[in-house]
Structure 1
Amino acid sequence: MSLSKYKFPYKPRPRQLEVASEIQETLKTANVILEAPTGFGKTPVVIYSLLPFLDRGGRIVWAVRTGNETDRPIEEFRVFREKSNARFIAMSFRGKKDMCLLAKEFGETLDYSEVSYICSRERKRCPYYNRLEEGVDYSILLSRGVLTYSEVYEWARKKKVCPYFLQRELLKVADVVSLSYNYVVDENLSWTIKGAFPLSQSILVVDEAHNLTQLNLGGDTVTEGTIERAKREAEELEARDMAEFIDKIQENVEKEFSSLGEEESQVFSPLKLIDGREEMIEKMKILGEEVRDMRFREGKRPHSSLYHLANFLEEATSYEGERGVALIAEKIDGKIHLNIWDMRSSEILSNVWKKFRRVIFMSGTLSPIEAFAETIGVKNYKPISVPSPYDETNASVYIVKDLTTRGEELSQEMARKYVEAIGKVLERVKGNTAVFTASYRIQLKLLEAGLRETSQQKGYQVFVEKRDMSGQEAGEVLQEFKELADEGKGLLVAPMGGRFAEGIDLPGKELVCVFLAGIPFEKPTVKTNLYISYYEELYGEGKGRLYAYIYPALRKASQAIGRALRSPRDQAVIILGDHRYNNYLPLLPDYVRELRQEISHTKLDHIQPPWEKIRL
């Protein structure tokens, strides 16, 4: 069926309609890997290419990185429904954590496991679930055609029916569903949609697909704090033998890992930590269930550190010696974290894609595409690459030849150079700026070297991403930063790979300058070396280091650069603050390669912003 039947709801940008036709044709025989720059309009192009498939009765699963992003593609589907000759039902799907009305009665945010506990325990007595089971006419809701998560939630709340299980009913008649990656790649969650949505007849669209390469699919983490809280719970239950057992675990953790430096890591053996006493894990889980039950009956969160620790030890023990799974102890912010780290993304994901009729992977940062395809286990595909629309009227790009974060630690002298360089840039651009650092460690070094004070002296308000920042807190910080756009006095400091360096839009004056402080290579710890070794085992010595170490870092850098250029009318200064970027130019956006100039950090007050050449 031809695309000419449908109206593209926007004035087409160069190559959009051409790429849509290419996607439509390719899907007849192969999967698609689409790499297109920020500002190209990947989402509307892919939707447009899929309209004939929907017309023939096909269905679409649109996977996004987090639940908070599920509404974004659905809003785009709304535009197509309103402005094109397309008729379909599209919906955003969220987990119980966001949709359970019983959980909301606790008055605080519960995690997924706590809400699942409440749901499984109370479902038969839940008035919202029972009212839905009795039958409810949701035809008026469906008549809207496009449903965001909040629309479903509010309608269900007013009707006093369960929003989560209402979603499950809506799935049976929906043509399009937008949900988080977890519902596609995690076997423990994918059953949720399998029964209602025929995957084998569906096309899967994976948004921001670069995130797939380092998914920790079977991972979990406990900290020293988790262990301490578990011991207190055992003491409160007067389970003396369990308290002594956990005390021994604490002692073993302290003995084994107290000498680790910040962000250093080491392999651990769960059997060694528990002195081989596996029988205590099941007893710990039973006690944890007691704590959950007791707290729930008291009207408190049904959370138990005993239960979490037991599950972690059970999983870690089962994974010990498993190829592709690393058990890692590391020190972060002065605390020991024990991690189950599953590196088997290509092995696990290769089976996921087979469940769907076809898959479209899309992102602005997938190069080299052959490496991306290999590391996520997709074989039958056609790459479609779109060149950037940006030129010297959009961007001024500088590589600073006398700055680098190379080495085990950033010296005080180099940190001061970075702060001096950033100060000169802020004085010159006089607009909202983001400093994206190679890591939280580098971020801390720059702040210690006076980055905040220097920026404030130049009239900037400084916003810093914290490692433990909640989604709500991050949203408030981002909003405050955006509100300074007209004044041009906001400075955002965040790590590459963090929540602000990808997946957010900062168009126009909201962000006019990006400064990359270093290259986000992982610190060469035991954890990093294990990852490289595993990839060398899978792909060979030459590819292993590239796939596990080089490519992920440059993708993070490219994502960070892309925050400032969201459309062909945006203008920005891009500062690559590390001379090593010259070694990796083929892995950076094409306009970076074409527009780059070398400069000393002492000359950054002489840079020329593109808006001084021409106003777009």
Structure 2
Amino acid sequence: MEARFPYKPRRHQLEVAGIIREQLRRRNVVLEAPTGFGKTPVVIYALLPFLERGGRVVWTVRTGNETDRPVEEFRVFRERSGVKLVALSLRGKRDMCLLARRFGDNLDYDDVSYICSREKNRCPYYRRLREGVNLQPFIDAGALTYTYVYEKASALGVCPYFLQRELLKVADVVALSYNYVVDEGMSWSIRTVFPFKESILVVDEAHNLQNLNLGGDTITEGTMERAYSEALEIGDSDSAELVRYTRERVKEKYSGLQEEESEVFDPEELLPQGFEDTLENALRSGEAIREKRFREGKRPQSSLYHFASFFKAAVEAEGIDGIALVVERNNGRLHLSIWDMRAGEILSEVWKSFKRVIFMSGTLTPLEAFAETVGLEDYYPISVPSPYDETNASVYLVRDLTTRGEELSDEMAEKYVRAIAKTLGRVRRNTAVFTASYRIQNKLLEKGLVDTARSLGYTVFLERREMSGVEAHATLQRFKSLAETGSGLLVAPMGGRFAEGADYPGEELMCVFLVGVPFEKPTTKTRLYIEYYQRLYGEEKGRLYAYVYPAIRKASQAIGRALRGPRDQAVIVLGDYRYQHYMPLMPDYVRELAKPITHDTLDSIEPPWERIRL
């Protein structure tokens, strides 16, 4: 049995695999294990007997971009352990449609679905696929990543998306984004080929489940402006008047909102009297605009259609407990959102549609709270101790820094900049400053963080709200490229794309400085979330579940970026005295190693690599 594990086993790996295998016979499993443990190969190893008996596995990840990871791990099992299984990375039509490329870039899922529904029967790529494709070369390859399938399909001149559908029939494992499981409208397309009831579901990075906005939607001031222009352009004066009236009502009622502030809105107060027929007419006009643009070979998008469908959904959602209709100001513009907070209620039904479910993450503490908030009842909890000690990490809790309060004062922001400077001057390694929010981040920049870091020889990289995926990837690669000189400084919010999900092995990141505790700003939106959870779980638990635990998980995720394996070393600075109150929720090595310090003595910290080189 052990010989089939493709790596030299780390501490607890085979033991945990055995426990998972045993427990899956009768219940679900929740696995919390630290970064560097090797959760993916352990879970695959545990599932091998089930797969070899003809069982199937659905492996879900947060985004489509991450679907290749488990497939690459299955490749290792095929090459080193002789496992003859087919694992498929499945991506949506937006990534896989060859025909859609002629309609331009930046198409979203709805655009490509629209194009496919209209052109499918005339599409040359789909027609060639229906004529037949030899699947044997794919079965022989076994580990079918997104790129592999896309390139092979392109070379054959067949549709990559529907080739995936054919490959689903022969796959033992499919890796896909959460949406294909939790969204009823998308999951049916998988279930019909890959029966869920006979499959084990793996939920990777499961700490993200609580924040899923299932069925939510957002429009902005920009959406309304474009919708108005579209209605005028096609001569639909009734729809133009509907949008104009609503846009003016939104501005009149909410123009006083400050950045990141929010309020509840009533859709019927923003729409004119007798709006029902006019809204349906706007929906039809929006659909006609999509059709016209499609015929012209343009992106089949319509802001008028989005406006009308949003308000139709908002009117239907009004009054449903667990759905909030919220208007907030972000980046200077008003955003109206349908926000569905009912993760536990909706997800509990999803889990029942599978044979068993494995949830895994490095940050699920406390496990009971996690299970309750995602609607999980019958499960076996596994918590793996971290492999890190004083040879891996030096952890400091700064007693005289905090972001507590409505605003970060100039004096405290300047203290933070000095503290970060002292830390940078001491460690001389690639460092990440992860902030409690963009608001805090901007305050540090205002107080000269960039110039201060540059004066110490660091190149500074910033995460921005409006960053595209391509730009973010390029930024991350440039930061990582400075690992050898240790002269990169990454500044990003906790909970953002650089503080969660990104890997920084070895010397790519050797110091993490947390600026504050990432509690949500006490806005109307935050209050609604806490109140909903308090109705579900009681006053005390509700506040912990909705407000405290998610914040500490974000902080723990950020800390975990620096330690990806047992030979990694890092300095961790907890830059807020309030972390001492939440130590029981922090990773075990943080609890054990944290030393108190003041901001003006951070130049005396002792990096672990000066004690021992691993």
TM-score > 0.5 by shorter chain: yes
Residues 284-307 of structure 1, C-alpha deviation per residue, up to 9 Å, x if partnerless? 111111211222222221111111
Q: CA deviation at 1:328?
A: 0.3
Aligned residue number for residue 56 of structure 1: 53
CA distance in 1, matches of 2:123, 2:381: 49
Partner of 1:278, secondary structure, is helix
User: Number of aligned pairs?
Assistant: 613
Aligned residue number for residue 302 of structure 2: 304
Aligned residue number for residue 261 of structure 1: 258
Query: 1:330 and 2:325 equivalent?
Result: no
CA distance in 1, matches of 2:29, 2:138: 34
Whether the 8 Å contact between 2:239 and 2:279 is mirrored in structure 1 is: no
Q: Which amino acid aligns with 2:249?
A: N
Aligned residue number for residue 275 of structure 1: 272
Query: 1:25 and 2:22 equivalent?
Result: yes
Aligned residue number for residue 163 of structure 1: 160
Q: Which amino acid aligns with 1:54?
A: L
Partner of 1:137, secondary structure, is coil
Aligned residue number for residue 578 of structure 1: 576
Partner of 1:532, secondary structure, is helix
Partner of 1:129, secondary structure, is helix
CA distance in 2, matches of 1:155, 1:513: 42
CA distance in 2, matches of 1:449, 1:22: 52
- Bigger mean CA deviation after superposition, 542-551 or 305-314: 305-314
Aligned residue number for residue 403 of structure 2: 405
Residues 410-465 of structure 1, C-alpha deviation per residue, up to 9 Å, x if partnerless? 11111111111111111111011001000111111111111111111111111111
Q: CA deviation at 1:85?
A: 3.3
Aligned residue number for residue 472 of structure 1: 470
Aligned residue number for residue 505 of structure 1: 503
Partner of 2:215, secondary structure, is coil
Residues 548-583 of structure 1, C-alpha deviation per residue, up to 9 Å, x if partnerless? 000000000000000000000000000000000000
CA distance in 1, matches of 2:456, 2:288: 57
Residues 358-403 of structure 1, C-alpha deviation per residue, up to 9 Å, x if partnerless? 0000000000000000000111100000001000000000011111
Aligned residue number for residue 239 of structure 2: 242
Alignment map for 1:40-51 (pairs within 5 Å): 40-51=37-48
TM-score, normalised via structure 1 length:
0.99
Aligned residue number for residue 133 of structure 1: 130
Match of 2:230 among 211, 230, 233: 233
Whether the 8 Å contact between 1:131 and 1:160 is mirrored in structure 2 is: yes
Query: 1:68 and 2:65 equivalent?
Result: yes
Aligned residue number for residue 197 of structure 2: 200
Identity %: 67
Alignment map for 1:522-537 (pairs within 5 Å): 522-537=520-535
Aligned residue number for residue 219 of structure 1: 216
CA distance in 2, matches of 1:286, 1:37: 52
Partner of 2:460, secondary structure, is strand
Q: CA deviation at 1:241?
A: 2.1
Q: Which amino acid aligns with 1:255?
A: E
Q: CA deviation at 1:512?
A: 0.4
Q: Any runs of at least 4 consecutive aligned residues in structure 1 with deviations exceeding 3 A, and if so which?
A: none
Q: CA deviation at 1:237?
A: 0.9
TM-score, normalised via structure 2 length:
0.99
Whether the 8 Å contact between 1:233 and 1:306 is mirrored in structure 2 is: yes
Q: Which amino acid aligns with 2:322?
A: G
CA distance in 2, matches of 1:118, 1:105: 11
Aligned residue number for residue 607 of structure 2: 609
CA distance in 1, matches of 2:276, 2:602: 60
Whether the 8 Å contact between 1:271 and 1:278 is mirrored in structure 2 is: no
Aligned residue number for residue 179 of structure 2: 182
CA distance in 2, matches of 1:412, 1:331: 24
- Bigger mean CA deviation after superposition, 75-84 or 277-286: 277-286
Alignment map for 1:339-354 (pairs within 5 Å): 339-354=337-352
- Structure 2: give runs of 5+ residues left out of the alignment: none
Aligned residue number for residue 13 of structure 1: 10
Query: 1:35 and 2:29 equivalent?
Result: no
CA distance in 1, matches of 2:565, 2:541: 34
Q: CA deviation at 1:311?
A: 1.2
CA distance in 2, matches of 1:107, 1:481: 31
Whether the 8 Å contact between 2:238 and 2:278 is mirrored in structure 1 is: no
Aligned residue number for residue 85 of structure 1: 82
Partner of 2:200, secondary structure, is strand
CA distance in 1, matches of 2:272, 2:603: 61
CA distance in 2, matches of 1:571, 1:37: 15
Whether the 8 Å contact between 1:231 and 1:306 is mirrored in structure 2 is: yes
Whether the 8 Å contact between 2:104 and 2:299 is mirrored in structure 1 is: no
CA distance in 2, matches of 1:216, 1:245: 28
CA distance in 1, matches of 2:186, 2:394: 45
Q: Which amino acid aligns with 2:166?
A: E
Q: Which amino acid aligns with 2:454?
A: Q
Q: CA deviation at 1:508?
A: 1.1
CA distance in 1, matches of 2:602, 2:564: 24
Aligned residue number for residue 120 of structure 1: 117
- Bigger mean CA deviation after superposition, 556-565 or 139-148: 139-148
Say what the alpha-carbon RMSD is for the aligned residues.
0.9
Partner of 2:556, secondary structure, is helix
Q: CA deviation at 1:281?
A: 1.6
Aligned residue number for residue 424 of structure 2: 426
Q: Which amino acid aligns with 2:500?
A: E
Whether the 8 Å contact between 2:29 and 2:359 is mirrored in structure 1 is: yes
Aligned residue number for residue 452 of structure 2: 454
CA distance in 2, matches of 1:458, 1:550: 36
CA distance in 2, matches of 1:499, 1:252: 35
Partner of 2:232, secondary structure, is helix
